[in-house]
Amino acid sequence: MVETADLWLGMQVQDLRKTLGLSLQQLAQRSGLSIGMLSQIERGLVSPSIRSLRQLSEALEVQAGHFFMAESPPPPEEIGLIVRRNKGRQLHLPSNGVSKWLLTPNLSGNLEMLLVEIAPGGKSGPDFYTHKGEECGHVISGSMHLWVEDRHFILNEGDSFRFLSTTPHRFENVSDIPASVIWVITPPLY
């Protein structure tokens, strides 16, 4: 019988592996675990030992604690399909004034959806950046400035955007209230 915690752990391992662009064979080489063992872990068929979990965390460039949840995992039927309110993973960038919550269950699909909270003065950084793919978004509340190449836009609540991620871009909240944006990126970036 497959345990819910093992399914959850397997999804986390697969998610990280795909985010790093690694095949099972490459992860096996990095971690010292067999491809068969990794496949079973990712499918939730086995529970890795503490030693194996440590090897996986080093190979996937995360702390071993990344795989432990403060609360119980979601029900098995929801794993990989549903993210409940306040249950998504968070990326907090305090130096930039930006917090991102992953709203898609994992990164194994073709896109990821984020809730991006931009504090007053928060920004993507001082420089333009690019990456492969495409992105779009919808401003839920507040406003933000968006630069796409040499074009500058002020987006307010209810406004949406879309552009190729290979185009130099950046964003910033110059207002005195936080901005909330639903942001969709393909392929998954975080």
Structural domains for the chain: 4-78 (1.10.260.40), 90-186 (2.60.120.10)
Q: Which pair of tokens denotes residue 50? A: 């503490």
Say whether pLDDT at 72 is over 80. Answer: no
Cα separations in angstroms, 181 against 47, 94, 114, 153, 174: 37, 17, 8, 15, 15
Confidence at 88, pLDDT banded by 50, 70, 90: confident
Tell me: pLDDT of 61 over 90.
Answer: no
* Entry field: residues in the chain: 190
d(CA 120, CA 112): 25
For 104-140, the pLDDT digits (tens) are 887 777 888 999 999 999 999 889 999 899 999 999 9
HSE (side-chain half, CA atoms, 13 Å) at 153: 16
- pLDDT on residue 70: 52
**Distance separating alpha carbons of residues 156 and 106, to the nearest angstrom:** 29
Q: Confidence class of residue 85 from pLDDT cuts 50, 70 and 90?
A: confident
Residues whose CB is less than 8 angstroms from the CB of residue 185 and which lie 6 or more positions away in sequence, other chains included = 111, 112, 114, 133, 134, 135, 165
Average pLDDT of the residues of the chain = 86
Q: 162 by DSSP, 3-state: which?
A: strand
pLDDT at 51: 82
